Amino acid sequence: MNKTTSIHFSKASRVISGGVNSPVRAWKSVGSSPLFVDRARGSKIYDVDGRAYIDYVLSWGPMILGHAHPKVIAAIRAAVKEGTSFGAPTRPETSMAEVIASAFPSIERLRMTSSGTEAAMTAIRLARGYTGRKLIAKFDGCYHGHSDSVLIKAGSGPTTLGIPGSPGVPEDIARLTLSLPYNDLDALEKTIRRYGSKLAAIIVEPVAGNMGVVSPQKEFLEKLRTLTAKNGIVLIFDEVITGFRFAFGGYQNLIGIKPDLTCLGKIIGGGLPVGAVGGSKKIMERLAPTGDVYQAGTLSGNPVAMIAGLTTLNLLQAKKQSFASLDKKTGQLCRAMEEMFFKKGIPVCINRVFSMFTVFFQEGPVVNLQTALQSDTKMFARFFHGMLKNGIWLAPSQYEAGFLSFAHTENDLQKTLEACTKTLRNL
């Protein structure tokens, strides 16, 4: 660890819990203090010593256009001149809702929040209020933010840190959440047979990104849709990561499945704090003030965040065709890395869905949390640090996703592969 980092980290640790404002940033699972970032532009991120890295974290997904896109920055600059928050409805919020509703056929009404956690928490409360039922179900290794009901066998930070449940979540709340293995049709059918009429909602990441990337097996999501519809259970797709990541819309559009509620975040905020929950008018109108399910937020739909998000979505809409190129680039990178590991005789399983990927240090296949946990996290940590030393910034956890942006160039990919070659020499 370099000297500057330790100075910044020890200073931060004197006043911020763990020195970070979100646990995964602490780099605990890769066994070092975190680098501090000064700035970022395009596909590059720069630490406080001015060292540049090709960034595959992209702020955990939002920066799909690349960092500090000039049009996004210009739009934010113009917006902040008019004020930053009014606590009153603004036209950019309506435009945001219109753009999202036009991209998601399942969304007739939307409610903005300031985080994905609030979006998922709202969706669950709304489903419970709408159905009058208490029980919900989720899937092991999926992460839907840190509200009490979903911190059960949760992915992302909880899995990274080995705290899939969490002290502070009362047993009375935890017992209202069932958690099943992802991609396990039998477990799903058994659970619905046993609890169907008691379940308010089932929430799922349609493509899992928080146990590392795990794609849904054929029929898993179709079966989920059929069984929830049959039993009056609200199906919630958590598309906080996947919303506008694969196409101009959700993963739901690509597979032709309409969930009852969708959670969004990350990309729709263009790098500013945002979340959203959307769905059918029938369910969404149960939210206060039209309905009786309460939900609120001082900065929900913040006009500056809306402008950043709208500018991002408008630029993505103009790139509709080039999502395929992002997919192609990511495929090239992953295949080339797979080849390198194979030649070195190091077992890896690289899971990729369009422009998100994870290099699991194991033979594979990785189809759920249980198989993901077979990975060699020590080897992952050595790979992480080797790539960092060679100028590549990967997610500091085996159980997270890597992302490409439209700003990643062929040259970036070439440099990444060169870094991988050098790293594998000493792995």
Judge whether 161 and 23 are in contact, CB under 8 Å: yes
Nearest to 234 by CA among 191, 273, 203, 271: 203
Catalytic residue check, 260? no
When asked if residue 145 is in the footprint of ligand KE4 (CB under 6 A), the reply is yes
Least Å from the CB of residue 194 to ligand KE4: 27
When asked if residue 295 is in the footprint of ligand KE4 (CB under 6 A), the reply is no
Judge whether 346 and 131 are in contact, CB under 8 Å: no
Least Å from the CB of residue 274 to ligand KE4: 8
Catalytic residue check, 238? yes
Q: Which one is catalytic: 138, 153, 266, 329?
A: 266
Catalytic residue check, 134? no
Q: Which one is catalytic: 53, 56, 130, 143?
A: 143
Beta strand 177-180 with 44-47: parallel, antiparallel or unpaired?
Answer: unpaired
When asked if residue 271 is in the footprint of ligand KE4 (CB under 6 A), the reply is no
When asked if residue 160 is in the footprint of ligand KE4 (CB under 6 A), the reply is no
Q: Which one is catalytic: 184, 238, 260, 412?
A: 238
**Residue 321 to residue 84: CA distance in whole angstroms:** 34
> Which own/partner pairs from 383-389 qualify as long-range (CB within 8 Å, at least 24 positions apart)?
383/359, 383/423, 383/427, 384/30, 385/30, 385/32, 386/419, 386/422, 386/423, 386/424, 386/426, 386/427, 387/419, 387/420, 387/423, 388/35, 388/53, 389/423
Termini Cα distance of the chain: 18
Stretch near ligand KE4 under the rule CB under 6 A, chosen from 92-100, 176-184, 204-212, 285-293: 204-212
Nearest to 255 by CA among 211, 290, 297, 215: 215
Nearer to ligand KE4, 341 or 403 (CB): 403
3-state secondary structure of 292: coil
When asked if residue 240 is in the footprint of ligand KE4 (CB under 6 A), the reply is yes
Least Å from the CB of residue 259 to ligand KE4: 14
In the shown chain, the binding pattern of residues 396 to 415 toward ligand KE4, with x for contact by CB under 6 A and - for none, equals ----x---------------
Nearest to 357 by CA among 171, 231, 148, 207: 207
When asked if residue 265 is in the footprint of ligand KE4 (CB under 6 A), the reply is yes
When asked if residue 85 is in the footprint of ligand KE4 (CB under 6 A), the reply is no
* Residues assigned a catalytic role: 143, 238, 266
Which residues in this chain contact ligand KE4 in the complex, by CB under 6 A?
Answer: 22, 24, 60, 115-117, 120, 143-145, 156-157, 205, 209-210, 238, 240-241, 265, 275, 400
